[in-house]
Amino acid sequence: MTSHKPLKSISHNFSHSFISLMNYINDDYFLGHLLMQARKTGINRLDIDILNNKAEPSELLTRPIKESIGYWNKWFPTLVESSGSTMDYVSSAKMSIIFDLQKTRLSSIHKELVENPFICEIVIIDDREKIYKHKHDGWWYPEPK
């Protein structure tokens, strides 16, 4: 029997997986690619509409970033269904990743690399207008080339 209850854990699990070491593209992790593009453009916020497979601003959407977003957005309904809920209950699913480009520190792992703090927040709204929100934060650096 399907339920709304799993939507709470889905909000945590999807966003956590998205920003985790599981999201590796070519030669770096998703957050590394995004941070490099954010530094290059000076744009520190990426907004993702999971259900409509859209993301903006376009300045941050390099090919690897777009492909990764598409892959994870495509996986979202599978996660919802396998968690015991249904996409019929999900009216909205949006996520944002924001880097603080003004704040830096040297990485404790790679002493020569500079990392920036980030926040990843997901908001899922169900068919009853109930909000399932989760926030992850941490520090990230691009992989050395």
Within a domain: 136: yes
43 within 8 A of 113, measured Cβ to Cβ: no
pLDDT of residue 99: 98
Give the Cα separation of 3 and 23 in Å (integer): 28
Query: Residue 11's closest CA among 145, 97, 132?
Result: 132
Tokens for 76?
């979202």
How many CB atoms are closer than 10 A to CB 145? Answer: 6
pLDDT digits (tens, 9 = 90+) for 76-129: 999 999 999 999 999 999 999 999 999 999 998 888 999 999 999 999 999 999
Within a domain: 145: no
Give the Cα separation of 45 and 34 in Å (integer): 10
Within a domain: 1: no
Within a domain: 51: yes
Within a domain: 119: yes
Give the Cα separation of 27 and 101 in Å (integer): 22
pLDDT digits (tens, 9 = 90+) for 4-45: 999 999 999 999 999 999 999 999 999 999 999 999 999 999
Within a domain: 130: yes
Which residues span the domain enclosing 85?
A: 6-140
Within a domain: 68: yes
pLDDT of residue 41: 98
φ, ψ for residue 48, nearest 5 deg: -125, 125
Compute the mean pLDDT over every residue in the chain, rounded to the nearest whole number.
96
pLDDT of residue 17: 96
As for how many domains the chain has, the answer is 1
Within a domain: 116: yes
